[in-house]
Structure 1
Amino acid sequence: MTPVFPADEYDRRLAALRATLKAQELDAVVVHTPENICYLSGHATPGYYTYQCLVVTAGGDVAVLTRQTETVNARATTHLERIVGFADSADPVQATADLLAELAPGATAVGLETRSWFLPPESYGRLSGLLESAGARVRPIDAALAAARLVKSPAEIEQIRAAARSTDAGMLAAAEAAVPGASERTVAAAAFQGMIASGSEYFGMEPFVASGPRAGTIHASWSDRVIGENEPVLLEMSATVGRYNAPLMHTVWTGELTGEAAEMAVACAAARDAALAHVVPGGSPAEAHAACRAAIAEAGLAHTYRKRSGYSVGIGFAPDWGEGHLLSLGETEEKRFARDMVVHVVPTLRIEGMAGIGLSATVLITEDGHEVLTSCPVGPGR
């Protein structure tokens, strides 16, 4: 295993963060979210369920702190010289404070993430207390970390393109397997095989396979249900390459849809296209969402749509492949689309206990529009 990118890619990211630290008069930052640690250092491990952090100082020092057994992963996935391990019997919060005191002695202001799932309240409180008792004010750094990841570099876009190719391979395999008489489990196995064989690592989230009435429930994944005639099979998945993701939702059916399911299929395609028309440099995610909802309402199906219309994608660890906290296609989003952002536009219409239809695209925002990165040549209707 080697780092995903050459050292100069990470050096550029760290230099930008240090400029932010100096602008905000912070002596150092301690990062706990796996995606942010990976973005800044390359460190990636399935063992992120235990304590780990990245310390970056305004003066130029950087170090990963992790379990001793995980230091092997850190050495393999980063270019960093400083990898610090703590014993399973040790207190990792105290180890963090000790490491910070060593790298940034006399620090008076330190940035911490306040919205990280991986720094729970008890740990945040103890770490803040230790830093403050040493004379350092604690300030949030979440917004700066989010802003750094939103626009992708050329090297990141290469990884996302590779993930998109693998997603497409998995989706094609699943779509071809989703025929009457096949079980959802068989379709899911085809998706796994297609993505893994074409280059995917472990996923940020498992594929979703739901047929007939089960597709009316959000995030319903595979079961032993056998696919019937004339019913939709909703598929959603994302391969992961270099920890970068490119999701695709697609719906296929054999035969002919009738009633509201047929109306939903037409409206969903129209909604996706309406949203995509706004996914251009300077465009508004909120307006893209409004256009998506308007197309669905025009079809008389507003009651089937109860969510945002998309989100940013990039680095992802389970339990999510998206970056919705960075940017979402929703009514309250104030950011604007910019070149080299990557977003998943994903309208999904559902009626509980009856059917679900979803048609999406992961797109790269270009200089004057966007490029669709994910697609499936099979369906929707066969």
Structure 2
Amino acid sequence: MPPVFPAVEYERRLAALRTTLKAKDLDAVVVHTPENVCYLSGHATPGYYTYQCLIVTADGDAALLMRETETVNAAQTTYFERINGFADSFDPIRATVDLLGELAPGARAVGMEARSWFLPPEPFGRLNALLNEAGCEVTHIDEALAAARLVKSPLEIEQIRAAARSTNAGMAAAAAAAVPGASERDVAAAAFSGLISSGSEYFGMEPFVASGPRAGTIHASWTDRVIGRDEAVLLEMSATVGRYNAPLMHTVWAGTLTGEAAAMATACADARAAALAEVRPGGSPAAAHTACKAAIADAGLAHTYRKRSGYSVGIAFAPDWGEGHLLSLGENEQRLFEPGMVVHVVPTLRVKDGAGIGLSATVLVTDTGHEVLTSCDQGPRP
């Protein structure tokens, strides 16, 4: 796969990172998180379960390090000239220190992520120790890397729009298949077909399909359960295009919902509208969360809602399609919405072993408000 963006886009990102390094008096940074490596270099591979890193120096040098077998992949997905591979029998941590010594000889201050899922405690500790032995002081740089990814460039937004179109196609196919007598597996197959045939790559997270009482369990994936009449089918999925994501949660049913499930459906739609009203430049993610919860509480259903109301989306690799660590719609979020941010607003009401209703939208924050990117026209059927 060729690089997703022209070289100038990656050069802009690397230049911004080098400005940050100089502002923090850092000689270099060692990046391990797959999303950050992809953002800065374009490198994308399902093989991120093995060690890889990107080293960027404040003076202008940069190199990728990974298994030798992955270097061909990196040559195709990036513009990098310096792509170093290590044999499976070699210690990648030692290779990282050696490469850093070549790129930034005499480095005394190095940035590194402290919260990368793919640098476990043992190699993290060893890398810290070896850098310390080499006379390098290590500074955690997670927040600076996160801030760089939060506001999307016009080229990134193009990829997210493409992902949204594919998500909408997958959701439409799944919703049409979610009829009484069909199994959840049938619906999942329709979702996969709709997503992939409309342009999606391998996903950041698999689609979710849960019907009837199973919809009351968060992150319930498909089973052989047969969908019955008068029960909700909760669907959630995200296509991935250029490693960018645009999720959508939607609920359909055939017949009539009754009791608490019917009340939840109305309250969920009201909660989504209330949260979306707060998604605008200068608006507060915390206020969006508060508005969402208030609409649910006003319906007497506060006991069905136990989570945040949304999160940032963009680049993602499994096991997640979101960027909740960058920004979440929750009471503790301090940052405000800015044009170019993209968030998944996702109220979901659940009763254990009872029912689940979710209605979401991936939205782009614009100069004047927001634009809804993911939606599904398929609604309840009589």
**TM class, shorter-length:** over 0.9
Q: TM-score scaled to structure 1, two decimals?
A: 1.00
Give, in whole Å, the separation in 2 of the partners of 1:351 and 1:314.
Answer: 30
* Alpha carbons 1:210, 1:233 under 8 Å: kept: yes
Alpha-carbon displacement from aligned partner over 1:195-230 (angstroms, at most 9, x marks no partner): 000000000000000000000000001000000000
**1:158 equivalent in alignment to 2:158:** yes
* Alpha carbons 1:250, 1:380 under 8 Å: kept: no
Specify the alignment match of 2:217 in structure 1.
217
Q: Give unmatched runs, 5+ long, in structure 2.
A: none
Residue type at the aligned position of 1:291: A
**1:375 equivalent in alignment to 2:375:** yes
Alpha-carbon displacement from aligned partner over 1:55-79 (angstroms, at most 9, x marks no partner): 0000101111000000011000000
Specify the alignment match of 1:362 in structure 2.
362
Give, in whole Å, the separation in 2 of the partners of 1:99 and 1:375.
Answer: 47
Q: Which moved more, 1:275-284 or 1:122-131?
A: 122-131
Specify the alignment match of 1:136 in structure 2.
136
Residue type at the aligned position of 1:169: A
Give, in whole Å, the separation in 2 of the partners of 1:263 and 1:256.
Answer: 12
Alpha-carbon displacement from aligned partner over 1:277-329 (angstroms, at most 9, x marks no partner): 00000000001000000000000000000000000000000000000000000
| Deviation, structure 1 residue 380 | 4.1
Could you say what the CA RMSD is over the residues aligned between the two structures, in angstroms? 0.5
* Alpha carbons 1:171, 1:191 under 8 Å: kept: yes
Specify the alignment match of 2:321 in structure 1.
321
Specify the alignment match of 2:115 in structure 1.
115
Give, in whole Å, the separation in 1 of the partners of 2:139 and 2:316.
Answer: 25
| Deviation, structure 1 residue 118 | 1.0
Give, in whole Å, the separation in 2 of the partners of 1:303 and 1:168.
Answer: 30
| Partner SS state of residue 329, structure 1 | coil
Give, in whole Å, the separation in 2 of the partners of 1:380 and 1:3.
Answer: 42
Residue type at the aligned position of 1:62: A
Give, in whole Å, the separation in 1 of the partners of 2:294 and 2:307.
Answer: 13
Specify the alignment match of 2:284 in structure 1.
284
Specify the alignment match of 1:306 in structure 2.
306
Alpha-carbon displacement from aligned partner over 1:33-55 (angstroms, at most 9, x marks no partner): 00000000000000000000000
Give, in whole Å, the separation in 1 of the partners of 2:302 and 2:107.
Answer: 54
**1:236 equivalent in alignment to 2:223:** no
Give, in whole Å, the separation in 2 of the partners of 1:252 and 1:381.
Answer: 8
Specify the alignment match of 1:46 in structure 2.
46
Give, in whole Å, the separation in 2 of the partners of 1:231 and 1:174.
Answer: 16
Give, in whole Å, the separation in 1 of the partners of 2:25 and 2:120.
Answer: 25
Instruction: Give structure 1 regions of 4+ aligned residues with deviation exceeding 6 angstroms.
Output: none
Residue type at the aligned position of 2:124: Y
Alpha-carbon displacement from aligned partner over 1:103-153 (angstroms, at most 9, x marks no partner): 000001000000111111111111111111111100001000000000000
* Alpha carbons 1:167, 1:247 under 8 Å: kept: yes
* Alpha carbons 2:311, 2:324 under 8 Å: kept: yes
Residue type at the aligned position of 1:93: I
* Alpha carbons 1:267, 1:296 under 8 Å: kept: yes
Give, in whole Å, the separation in 2 of the partners of 1:217 and 1:13.
Answer: 40
| Partner SS state of residue 349, structure 2 | strand
Give, in whole Å, the separation in 2 of the partners of 1:126 and 1:49.
Answer: 18
Counterpart mapping for 1:259-278 below 5 A: 259-278=259-278
Change (3 A) 1:380 1:340: farther
Give, in whole Å, the separation in 2 of the partners of 1:227 and 1:351.
Answer: 18
Alpha-carbon displacement from aligned partner over 1:156-177 (angstroms, at most 9, x marks no partner): 0000000000000000000000
Specify the alignment match of 1:335 in structure 2.
335
* Alpha carbons 2:253, 2:379 under 8 Å: kept: yes
Give, in whole Å, the separation in 1 of the partners of 2:116 and 2:134.
Answer: 23
Give, in whole Å, the separation in 2 of the partners of 1:39 and 1:365.
Answer: 20
Alpha-carbon displacement from aligned partner over 1:334-372 (angstroms, at most 9, x marks no partner): 010000100000000000001000000000000010000
Provide the identity percentage: 79
| Partner SS state of residue 114, structure 1 | coil
Residue type at the aligned position of 1:345: V
| Partner SS state of residue 56, structure 2 | strand
Specify the alignment match of 1:100 in structure 2.
100
Specify the alignment match of 2:253 in structure 1.
253
Specify the alignment match of 1:297 in structure 2.
297
For these two proteins, the number of residue pairs brought into alignment is: 382
* Alpha carbons 2:255, 2:380 under 8 Å: kept: no
Give, in whole Å, the separation in 2 of the partners of 1:166 and 1:109.
Answer: 44
Residue type at the aligned position of 1:337: F
Residue type at the aligned position of 1:20: T
Specify the alignment match of 2:15 in structure 1.
15
Residue type at the aligned position of 1:307: K
| Partner SS state of residue 84, structure 1 | strand
Specify the alignment match of 1:89 in structure 2.
89
Give, in whole Å, the separation in 1 of the partners of 2:188 and 2:257.
Answer: 22
Residue type at the aligned position of 2:60: G
Specify the alignment match of 2:203 in structure 1.
203
Specify the alignment match of 2:347 in structure 1.
347
| Deviation, structure 1 residue 381 | 4.7
Q: TM-score scaled to structure 2, two decimals?
A: 1.00
* Alpha carbons 1:245, 1:313 under 8 Å: kept: yes
Give, in whole Å, the separation in 1 of the partners of 2:145 and 2:380.
Answer: 39
